[in-house]
Structure 1
Amino acid sequence: MKTLKQLLADKPKTLAVIAPDDTVYQALCVMAEHNVGALLVLQGGQLVGIFSERDYARKQIRNNRSSKETPVRDLMSARVAYVGLNASLEECMSLMTEKRFRHLPVLDDAGQVLGILSIGDLVKETISAQKFLITELERYIAG
């Protein structure tokens, strides 16, 4: 199975990010442009939150303000779970399942963002690893 470093290397090099003072409308446009379901919210290069489709769907209606007026900071999730490069895929999946979120930032030891993984990235890699294992076992059995 691949490491987190290998998974991140397979993803696009450009991260989809937004600033906390940018509008929700701008965030939705960036999400559509990058075809992603969540954006890292960075301020001064540091991770300060994450903004997801779920944040928009669950919080914007209660906000009763226009998306063109509402800053991302009003809807983003400020408490962000993250992992380092040494985390296993199983640990990532367990954390995402337990905490019920679908996007997980990966940070280095200095707190710099290295990338973001989706539950889809992890499931895809798990299926790929299982297919490889099945193929190898079939070869072994067949002799």
Structure 2
Amino acid sequence: MGKVKDILRTKGNKVYSVEPSIMVYEAIALMCEKNIGGLLILQNDKLEGIFTERDYARKLILKGKSSKNTPISELMTRNPITVLPETSIEDCMDLMTGKFIRHLPVVEEGRLVGLISIGDVVKHIIEEQKDIIEHLENYISR
């Protein structure tokens, strides 16, 4: 099975991030514009947290807060679980399913180098399985 770096090679290293002081409304607008389910929160290039659609629904709406008056720092998940480029896709699946998370920031030597989602992991696994099936079909048809 592949590694996180294989997903990043295909997907790229583009990461959308905001500072902790941004209002939730602005973060949600950015997420909508970019069609993404999560944003990383960076302060001075240091990963401070992650903010997802789940955080919005569970920590803002249900608590009756206003998205225009609430800084994202109040809702973000602090110290998110991270992975390395060398982490196996299988380990990522275990983390995501075991911890009920959908996004994993990728860090190398203390520096943010990407972000993978559960969708990226599933897509990679499907592509890998297609390759294996094609290889087996070619082997059988010889």
User: Taking structure 1 as the reference length, what is the TM-score of the superposition?
Assistant: 0.93
RMSD over aligned CA atoms reads 1.3
Gaps of at least 5 residues in structure 1 are none
Equivalent pairs counted in the alignment come to 142
Give the aligned residue type for 2:71.
P
User: Is the 2:13–2:115 Cα contact (8 Å) retained in structure 1?
Assistant: no
Shift of residue 14 of structure 1?
A: 3.2
Mean Cα deviation higher: 112-121 or 9-18: 9-18
Instruction: State the partner residue of 1:132.
Output: 131
Gaps of at least 5 residues in structure 2 are none
| 1:16/1:72 CA distance change after superposition, 3 Å | same
How many Å separate the matches in 2 of 1:45 and 1:70? 22
Instruction: State the partner residue of 2:61.
Output: 61
How many Å separate the matches in 2 of 1:101 and 1:5? 19
User: Taking structure 2 as the reference length, what is the TM-score of the superposition?
Assistant: 0.94
| 1:59/1:98 CA distance change after superposition, 3 Å | same
How many Å separate the matches in 2 of 1:36 and 1:79? 20
How many Å separate the matches in 2 of 1:49 and 1:77? 5
Shift of residue 13 of structure 1?
A: 4.4
Instruction: State the partner residue of 2:121.
Output: 122
Give the aligned residue type for 1:15.
V
Is 1:38 matched up with 2:41? Answer: no
User: Is the 2:93–2:121 Cα contact (8 Å) retained in structure 1?
Assistant: yes
Instruction: State the partner residue of 2:82.
Output: 82
How many Å separate the matches in 1 of 2:131 and 2:12? 24
How many Å separate the matches in 2 of 1:45 and 1:12? 19
Report sequence identity in percent: 46
4+ runs of 1 displaced by more than 6 Å?
A: none
Shift of residue 12 of structure 1?
A: 4.7
How many Å separate the matches in 2 of 1:128 and 1:27? 32
How many Å separate the matches in 1 of 2:139 and 2:46? 49
Instruction: State the partner residue of 1:92.
Output: 92
Mean Cα deviation higher: 61-70 or 116-125: 61-70
How many Å separate the matches in 2 of 1:14 and 1:108? 15
| 1:76/1:11 CA distance change after superposition, 3 Å | same
